[in-house]
Structure 1
Amino acid sequence: MTDEDFDLDYDELVSAEDFLTYFGVDYDPAVVQVNRLHILQRYHDYLDQAAEMPADAATRRALHAEQLTRAYRDFVASDALTEKVFRVFRMHEPRQIRVGLDQLLEHLPHAAKV
């Protein structure tokens, strides 16, 4: 496999199933159906953490396969809410903000002054 072959093949991958099949990762379709975006984001995050991307296509493909397998397994053993891949899952609980009536009345020109 040449670098160009790998790059061309990689550019054609669209779905989580495409990635898993291409890299030879055995998967349960039920796990992928529920967690597809989370798996792909975690895979991307793991690749970003790699110190350096290998120049050799075969080594690069092996690294991708390893990180995709790792990402998939995260969601076999856990779930999206626990893993918190996306920012929305890491947000804090909603906060309560109190605004006094006097503060509201200050901004209304037609409100009577008390």
Structure 2
Amino acid sequence: MSSCSLDDKPVDVVDILPRLKTLSSAEDFFDALSVKYDPKVLASARLHVLKRMGQYLATEDFDGLPDRVIAARCRSYLERAYDDFVTSSPLKERVFKVLKDNDPDRPVKPGTAFVDFDDILAPLPPRG
């Protein structure tokens, strides 16, 4: 087993990307890459952290790189993604489309989400 970890638990770097693709929980990623975490942070941001890590990984071209380098970059991106949510929150970071689309700081396109006040106060049509 090769190591790219400075912690006491070495990271098995052999075929790291295919192995990461088989993982199913945030904790599995943290364990596989030997990254320490606070369970309280993951309780509220696990999917956000993994999504952000994926965004960081999407900027990389791993073709031809040695497993040791790939593992080190994956570990670095997981640490960076995790740190984003230690110092911020899912609502502030808005990594998912549903949160981006409902950002109160982003201007709303005219006619897309506006309900005229008169429409709210209009009487209901008679039943019958």
TM-score of the aligned structures, taking structure 2 as reference length: 0.66
1:21 deviation in Å? 1.1
Is this contact kept in 1: 2:48–2:96, CA < 8 A?
yes
Instruction: Give aligned-pair identity as a percent.
Output: 34
| In 2, Cα distance between equivalents of 1:45 and 1:18 | 18
State which structure, 1 or 2, has the greater radius of gyration over its C-alpha atoms. 1
Instruction: Give 1:18's aligned amino acid.
Output: D
8 A Cα contact 1:84 1:90, kept in partner: yes
CA shift for structure 1 position 11:
3.5
Match of 2:67 in 1: 57
Return 5+ residue gaps in structure 1 as ranges. 99-114
- Give the C-alpha shift of residue 58 in structure 1: 1.0
Give runs of ≥4 in structure 1 deviating > 6 Å. none
Name the Cα RMSD after superposition: 2.6
Tell me if 1:96 matches 2:104. Answer: no
User: What is the identity, as a one-letter code, of the residue corresponding to 1:53?
Assistant: F
Asked if structure 1 preserves the Cα contact closer than 8 Å seen for 2:35 and 2:79, the reply is: yes
Can you give the 5+ residue segments of structure 2 that lack an aligned partner in the other structure? 3-11, 117-128
- Of 29, 32, 36, which aligns to 2:42? 32
Separation of aligned partners in 1, 2:51 and 2:23: 14
> Which residue identity is paired with 2:55?
D
| 8 Å Cα contact 2:13-2:71 kept in structure 1 | no
Structure with greater contact order relative to length (CA < 8 Å, sep ≥ 6): 1
User: 2: CA distance between counterparts of 1:4 and 1:77?
Assistant: 32
CA separation of 1:81/1:3 partners in 2, compared to 1, >3 Å: closer, same or farther? closer
Shift of 1:5: 3.8
1:49 aligned counterpart, secondary structure: coil
Q: 2:95 is matched with which residue?
A: 85
How many aligned residue pairs are there?
99
